[in-house]
Amino acid sequence: MTRDLPLRLLRRGFSLMLSLFVLLCLTFVIGRLMPSDPVGAIVGELADPQAYAAMRAKMGLDLPVPEQFWVYLKSLAHGDLGTAILTGNPVLSDLAAAFPATLELATLAIILSVAVGVPLGLLAALYRDTLLDQIARVLSLLGHSLPVFWFGIVGLIVFYAGLQWALGPGRIDVFYEDIVEPRTGAILIDSLLAGETEIFWNALGHLILPACILAYTSMAYIVRMTRSFTLEQLGQDYIIAARAKGLRLPAVVWGHILPNIAVQLVTILAISYGHLLEGAVLVEIVFSWPGIGQYMTNALMIGDMNAILACTLLIGVIFMILNALADAAYLALDPRTREAR
């Protein structure tokens, strides 16, 4: 089986690249069919027809759509993602500035959702049909049912405007901007590297509320799936036999249940993290968070295809990386997977 591993990896890589190419094709075609006017966003609505036509030709929009896509692919092969209409900067530099903010927000959100969701799902299954289980199921149902932007607005009203437990919208207070050198792009890490603890706590005060709002939506899914996986294991003969032999519940959980649901948990955690990275748009808008979601939304408003395609490509690459990491985790957690390969 090990001799087939390179071929399996090659096939998987080809499948992922093909999926990414199809995603780019669909996004490009849909973008060209959108009723937006990127030329008008640059030259203005009152521009004379000659200036409008010159800018349209400069942007390559006078070419047939297949030829436009071919030109874009050639530029992409040279690492050129184009220039953003909204900022006038290279799209690559815009993404380098916006993505760390989203990464920081989504990473804290997934840590919080895992820290609460997995234990709560386990306890809900172990104490099925008790008050704890009912509370976990209600929390999970609310997390799936209520819109995240509503949670964000309520969170701002209650915890920022009312109780003043959290800081307001934005990533950091205005008078702290441009003090810390952006080494990694993550303000928490950069402030610690610079020894600016005051800026660190200020940034954390801005981050904690949107991260908790975003974490709740992910936690609802993790609780439901962890509870389902655990209930399935509790009905297995080996668990019944272990309990009959007098093995205590904590030993059953750590020694039997968690190892057997680890692969399934890795799958849902990878999916959750990917959705947090690409699905934080509404939270970023509510909290004026300068991340990839807000950047992509602004690009969609004016039909900036360079920015939209770059964001689509980035999201696709993120899911490819998460899938690869999940596969590596399967190999580490499940010996049967290594034997099969």
Read off the pLDDT of residues 116-128 as tens digits, 9 standing for 90 and up. Answer: 999 999 898 888 8
244: Cα within 13 Å, side-chain hemisphere: 7
Q: Is the pLDDT of residue 212 over 80?
A: yes
Q: What is the DSSP letter of 156?
A: I
Give residue 49's pLDDT band: very low, low, confident or very high (50, 70, 90): confident
Please give the residue that has the higher pLDDT: either 67 or 328: 67
pLDDT of residue 36: 67
pLDDT at 305: 79
pLDDT per residue as tens digits for the range 223-235: 989 998 888 887 7
Residue 238 CA to residue 260 CA, distance in Å, equals 11
**DSSP state string for 22-60:** HHHHHHHHHHHHSS--HHHHHH-TT--HHHHHHHHHHTT
Query: What rounded mean pLDDT belongs to the chain?
Result: 81
Of 130-134, 153-157, 295-299, which gets the smallest average pLDDT?
295-299
Q: Which amino acid is at 51?
A: A
User: What pLDDT does residue 1 have?
Assistant: 45
Supply the angle between the helices 148-155 and 197-234 in degrees, to the nearest 10: 140
Mean pLDDT of all residues in 80-108: 86
Q: Which two tokens stand for residue 53?
A: 């036509």
Q: Per-residue pLDDT for 11 more than 90?
A: no
Closest CA to 155 of 146, 168, 142: 168
Q: Is the pTM of this model over 0.85?
A: no
Residue 179 predicted with pLDDT over 80: yes
Q: Which amino acid is at 84?
A: A
Alpha carbon distance 153, 283 (integer Å) = 9
pLDDT value, residue 9: 64
